[in-house]
Amino acid sequence: ETGVTQSPTHLIKTRGQQVTLRCSSQSGHNTVSWYQQALGQGPQFIFQYYREEENGRGNFPPRFSGLQFPNYSSELNVNALELDDSALYLCASSNRLAGVLYEQFFGPGTRLTVL
């Protein structure tokens, strides 16, 4: 077990709704990355948070947003949900020291279904 936790485990929403997913990083880690994984695909990078600021973003629209808190936990918010947002959302925790990002460990994920 990595020590990275995510909530909720599963979630069902309808199109147009908003959702907030949560992640607690592993103790000692200061960086959180969020990924979306569709069935049969590799995880796709959404964004990364370091020291409470967004520190890089993948090809996702602005309705995907996030936060990182002083304790390094993080939230992913998705507005105006679309059917294609149905996926496994993964949070990965890692440590950045002197500009170098070390191994990242994943939480168990949140399975989001949009109807």
Partner 1 sequence: GQNIDQPTEMTATEGAIVQINCTYQTSGFNGLFWYQQHAGEAPTFLSYNVLDGLEEKGRFSSFLSRSKGYSYLLLKELQMKDSASYLCAVQAGGYQKVTFGTGTKLQVIP
Interface with partner 1 (CB under 8 A): 2, 33, 35, 40-45, 48, 50, 55-56, 58, 88, 90, 92, 96, 100-109
Closer CB to partner 1, 16 or 27, in the complex: 27
> What radius of gyration, in Å, describes the C-alpha atoms of the chain?
13
Identify whether the C-beta of residue 64 lies closer than 8 Å to the C-beta of residue 52. no
Closer CB to partner 1, 82 or 102, in the complex: 102
CB of 111 to partner 1, least distance (A): 8
CB of 92 to partner 1, least distance (A): 8
CB of 101 to partner 1, least distance (A): 4
